Structure 1
Amino acid sequence: MEKNLSRRGFLGLTAAGVALAGAGLAGCSPANTGGNAAAKEDGGDSPSYEPGEIVETIDADIVVVGLGMSGLAAAVQAANNGDAVVGIEATNTTGGNGIGVEGIFAVGTKLQKDAGIEVTPVEIIQTEMEEAQMATNGALWNRFINASGDNVEWLIEQGVQFSGMVDDYLGSGVVSCFHWFEGDVASVGYVPQMTARAKELGVDMRLETSAKQLIMSDGKVAGLYAEDSGGNTLQINAKAVILATGGYAQNQELMEERGWNWDNIIYGGTPGHNGDGLKMAFDVGARSFVSSSTFNCTNICGRGDTFAWKADTFTSVFCGAGMFGTGGAQLWVNEDGERFICEDFAKDNFEMQSVPAMTHRAMYSVFDRAILEAGLAGDPDMLEFVDTDPEDDLCKADSIAELAEYFGMDAAALQASVDRYNELCEQGADADFGKPAESMVPISTPPFYMAKLNQYYLMSVGGIECNIDAQVVNQTKEPIAGLYAVGTDGCMLYRNIYTINVGGTCNGNNVNSGRTAANHAHGYIAG
């Protein structure tokens, strides 16, 4: 019995392939309540952050917390509106998880028209509503879809560069609405330009500065406390705060609340996404959306320490063949050795592949040598790689019983699942879960393999409940005056799963929600 895997992580998708959803960057550290009666009445906790001596007091109209995709959009829009804007960012650079985003969704742009592409917005709205079982706000989708073309034109006015390519995102989508950035990545076409534009418009950008606590007055946002890299406390007075901190992917408590087994999570995004924006909002009475939020996550085998090795092969073979983490010809079992699903269920939306992980303590992929060789297209280098590079989460053995023993599983139960699966393969029909006959391949050619499926998690999407204007709402769904959440902090477009087959809508929401919050805050301040 051998334990083997790829170079510390047999991927179902490459890191580049799953970076497309986009996000803001975490721009704050542990956040807490403003410590006032109004906050507590709305459900806030007692403050655990005690601000030190205030070394600097800053007056502004709007504070943007986090300068990733959505935070930059909010800061630039607010500055264009003539508001005095402070943008704070916990790291030493802008962009966050958004640096790997390839493009953005839009309908009705000049780029689209020049390419001869015509798309009816209602088709997308109807599709998205149906896939969310009508649980999302259709008015939000309608507003977003119909503003998306203007958002791209606005980005171009701000200096953002697009390659000119518009397609359905690598042939995987249902509509040709994906607008590729210059260089096919936001770190080339979006982040430098929007950062420069914010500075040009006079945004007071404070890097290595972490938001700590919202300041509330009479139930309204009045600013926040922050700390710089030297531990000095800043007080920023403002009538509106826009949270754009990039979600909660590195927060164990919130991840477990969402339903994940933390032991199986491998974080693959940029650092600092600790749910701090969410915690600050919750501390002043915001309503949580964590349990219904979605994510950018794929299954992998192993711990995923290295993703660069033979990236082209991983993309063409592992994605195309549906190997390992994405299902396909393999048999999937849970911790009890029991089959539980039609294994190619995620073929139309690879974001779905990790969803069953929230139902089971652990998931495993079982296959044999014939399936392995077919999946790797007979690539001798890859086959040698699997057979010789040791890894704890994949076992190679001469019998099914040895596989079960390696993973501490009931051998009889696993053997029964394999026998039943082989029986169904011989019958040419999956009477248990309806897997297509062409994907039913018996596990009968030794050696046998079994891989534990861990979840390679890039980002959470949503977490703070907001209304259609990106205003954070309280427990009775009334807006908390002056508080906004944008991007992946406050995304309300999806329920439970990111419908990636309409490519780029998550990043489209980053820009749209950032602009929406800035414009609403401008009116709120003026009023």
Structure 2
Amino acid sequence: MKDGKFVEQAKGMERPLTLSIDIKDNKIVQIKSQTNDMSTLEENTLNKMSNRIIKDQSISVDTVSGATVSSNGILDATQHAIKDAGGNIHDFEHQVQKSEETNDESDNYAKWIKKPSHIDKVENTDLVIVGSGISGLSAAVQAGYEDIKTIVLEKNGFVGGNGLGVEGMMGAQTAMQKKAGINFSKQEVVENELKTIQYQADGSFWVDLVNNTAENIDWLQKQGVQFDRVDDYHHTCPLPTFHWFKGGRGATGYVPFMEKKAKELGVDIRTSSPVIGLIYENKTVKGVYANIDDQVVQINAKAVIFASGGFGQDKKLVHRQGWNTKNMLFVGMKGSTGDAYKMAIAAGAKDAFDRSAPLITNYIQALPLGNGRDLLSGGPALWVNQDGVRFTDESITDRNAILQSQPFKFIKHGYLVFTRKMFAKYEANLQDLTEEQQKSMQGIDQFADQDEERALRILDRSVKENKGNSLYKADTLSELAEKVGLPVDDFVAQTKRYNQYCQNGEDEEYGKDRKFLVALDEDPYYIARLDQSYAISIGGIGENRHFEVIDDNWNKIPGLYAAGIDSAMQYKEIYTINLGGSCCAHCVNSGRHAVMNATEYIKSLD
């Protein structure tokens, strides 16, 4: 290859980067950015990828966890530089030994407490926090105030995790509510939540959480966290509990302030540093193994707090919850693969998987994601199963947005039936978004942006493209049934019965509220297969009220704590989202109190 500096464009998540790639003596010797004002994530990704490429002289190296798009962009740019230099790509495609960045994907969780075959470095600290989302950052700041030596290990290449997309949190009798003239009792919140899950939880978890919300929000504001307002989340909550982060996103109102405060307090936060194992000796947790800067590092710690963001990206675990993952859309953080759950179970933790609740809604592959409370989620539409008959009250979303997906666990396929007139009326706020924008949950709160013509343009284009063979149009009900292979006579008869219910104003099958009874009485007709969009899992690791991980006999596992959505014992299969922000409130509360209790444990060891 000829020597020289080759300027190439590298695709990034938000924008392309301009790279200068130096080649000398048939080797890649330097990869630098010519782009100004690089973000921390862009800098970290470029540094790690350039080091790997140069060290191994290969474009077949591992990508950086949580920065796959940017990593692949750097690899592609390097490949172009090799070509421009007259080199042979195959000379740089040799496979290098994969780092121990992730553990075995099998069900043998024992591997997660096995010491790696080699250790490059050993460090010592008081506390390790695994994850830097809402709960991880809450724990990190609290640890800073407790003045204990703390390392935060984040699998992704950036701080924030699932918390970047969180809109706000629940509060009861907060200063913001009092200022807004909002008044309701704490016990109303507890009662509402327990009724929703049919009292299938230890209510003391709810009492503790609700009693702490006001003080937690006050504490967050002292750290710099910014809130816009408090309300009932688009008039969907029975009580105005929802405290909106500034800009409606944790990425704006929560994460940057908490990260800054944690660092000011001396907390060591390391990104692109996945934990690959738990140090578990003599029935006590004594630290973790992690992959840091391509080295396997043993970190001896007196306590470990799991705050890793659940298992929402592990298809095997999601399927174990009872979901059909064949056409499922996974919209959460890529790094949320249940690592903490697997380590905890390997260490003998109580398996609370059967309690775990998902943040999940329905979607149609051919259409952009809706906001979870529109026609696509049920409401005035007609739902039928593989037999062409109804299987639930389609308006259950009006009571709890997450309920819309629950009946789909028990059928083979579910279909949404609607008319063009219905789509224009009820989907007027549907945003025309790219797939990446949808996965980042953009546009889901644009309730006021109404445009019927835009909605119909999206519908017409989507029918034509028909992504995933999921959306069809027909002039008759019989033809519509044939499009998806439903029993024609049963489907037509069901639709006629439903139309009669709409005309009479009474649903004689499921008692659907008459305000949602809208007849399908005008062609063209449409039918769409409803699949599920999975954002996060909530729960899985058994714990007590002090956020200490417990075993099957409710004995504490010394040194191990769980916060955030790695464990949430107050839920039972259903995320009670009808009182907005309870999960985020739990993440903040559990992060703080896990540290308080871990601090007592650490001091007891001295």
**TM-score of the pair, normalised by structure 2:** 0.75
In the alignment, residue 567 of structure 2 is paired with which amino acid? G
Q: Which residue of 2 aligns with 1:225?
A: 289
CA distance in 2 between counterparts of 1:169 and 1:276 reads 32
Cα deviation, 1:382-425, whole Å, max 9, x if unaligned, reads 22331233222110012333333322333233223223323433
Report the Cα offset of residue 158 of structure 1: 2.0
Residue correspondence of structure 1 range 131-150 to structure 2 within 5 A: 131-150=196-215
Residue correspondence of structure 1 range 474-485 to structure 2 within 5 A: 474-485=551-562
Q: Which residue of 2 aligns with 1:36?
A: none
Are 2:261 and 1:188 equivalent residues in the alignment? no
Are 2:347 and 1:284 equivalent residues in the alignment? yes
In the alignment, residue 446 of structure 1 is paired with which amino acid? D
Q: Does the CA-based 8 Å contact 2:224-2:258 persist in structure 1?
A: yes
Q: Does the CA-based 8 Å contact 2:112-2:278 persist in structure 1?
A: no
Are 2:279 and 1:215 equivalent residues in the alignment? yes
Q: Does the CA-based 8 Å contact 2:115-2:279 persist in structure 1?
A: no
CA distance in 1 between counterparts of 2:427 and 2:277 reads 51
Are 2:110 and 1:59 equivalent residues in the alignment? no
Are 2:394 and 1:343 equivalent residues in the alignment? yes
Residues 427 and 188 of structure 1: is their aligned pair in 2 closer, same or farther, counting only changes over 3 Å? Answer: closer
Q: Does the CA-based 8 Å contact 1:44-1:285 persist in structure 2?
A: no
Q: Does the CA-based 8 Å contact 1:70-1:514 persist in structure 2?
A: yes
Are 2:446 and 1:382 equivalent residues in the alignment? no
In the alignment, residue 535 of structure 2 is paired with which amino acid? L
In the alignment, residue 413 of structure 1 is paired with which amino acid? D
Report the Cα offset of residue 157 of structure 1: 2.2
Q: Which residue of 2 aligns with 1:506?
A: 583
Counterpart selection for 1:237 from 280, 283, 300: 300
Cα deviation, 1:157-192, whole Å, max 9, x if unaligned, reads 2222233x2222222222223222233321122111
Q: Which residue of 1 aligns with 2:232?
A: 168
Report the Cα offset of residue 49 of structure 1: 5.7
Q: Which residue of 2 aligns with 1:155?
A: 220
User: 5+ unaligned residues in a row in structure 1: which ranges?
Assistant: 1-24, 34-42, 308-313
Residues 526 and 493 of structure 1: is their aligned pair in 2 closer, same or farther, counting only changes over 3 Å? Answer: same
CA distance in 1 between counterparts of 2:505 and 2:112 reads 62
| Segment of structure 1 superposing worse, 363-372 or 345-354 | 363-372
CA distance in 2 between counterparts of 1:368 and 1:354 reads 22
Are 2:194 and 1:116 equivalent residues in the alignment? no
Residue correspondence of structure 1 range 83-102 to structure 2 within 5 A: 83-102=148-167
CA distance in 1 between counterparts of 2:104 and 2:501 reads 55
CA distance in 2 between counterparts of 1:291 and 1:496 reads 7
CA distance in 1 between counterparts of 2:206 and 2:170 reads 13
Q: Please, what is the CA RMSD of the aligned residues?
A: 2.4
Report the Cα offset of residue 99 of structure 1: 0.9
Cα deviation, 1:355-398, whole Å, max 9, x if unaligned, reads 11211122111123343344346823322331233222110012
Q: Does the CA-based 8 Å contact 2:113-2:279 persist in structure 1?
A: no
In the alignment, residue 489 of structure 2 is paired with which amino acid? A
Q: Which residue of 2 aligns with 1:438?
A: 515
CA distance in 2 between counterparts of 1:363 and 1:518 reads 45
Residues 143 and 428 of structure 1: is their aligned pair in 2 closer, same or farther, counting only changes over 3 Å? Answer: closer
**TM-score of the pair, normalised by structure 1:** 0.86
Aligned length: 480
Cα deviation, 1:415-469, whole Å, max 9, x if unaligned, reads 2322332343344422111122333233232221101111111111111121111
Residues 124 and 200 of structure 1: is their aligned pair in 2 closer, same or farther, counting only changes over 3 Å? Answer: same
Q: Using the aligned pairs only, state the percent identity.
A: 38
Q: Does the CA-based 8 Å contact 2:112-2:276 persist in structure 1?
A: no
Report the Cα offset of residue 352 of structure 1: 1.2
Q: Does the CA-based 8 Å contact 1:26-1:244 persist in structure 2?
A: no
Report the Cα offset of residue 229 of structure 1: 4.4
Q: Which residue of 2 aligns with 1:362?
A: 413
Q: Secondary structure at the match of 1:54?
A: coil
Cα deviation, 1:101-125, whole Å, max 9, x if unaligned, reads 2222222333232223223111111
CA distance in 1 between counterparts of 2:102 and 2:490 reads 45
Report the Cα offset of residue 48 of structure 1: 8.2
Larger radius of gyration: 2
Q: Secondary structure at the match of 2:361?
A: strand
RCO comparison, higher one (Cα < 8 Å, 6+)? 1
Q: Does the CA-based 8 Å contact 2:128-2:153 persist in structure 1?
A: yes
Report the Cα offset of residue 514 of structure 1: 0.4
Report the Cα offset of residue 299 of structure 1: 1.0
User: 5+ unaligned residues in a row in structure 2: which ranges?
Assistant: 1-64, 68-99, 429-450
Report the Cα offset of residue 268 of structure 1: 1.2
| Segment of structure 1 superposing worse, 454-463 or 285-294 | 285-294
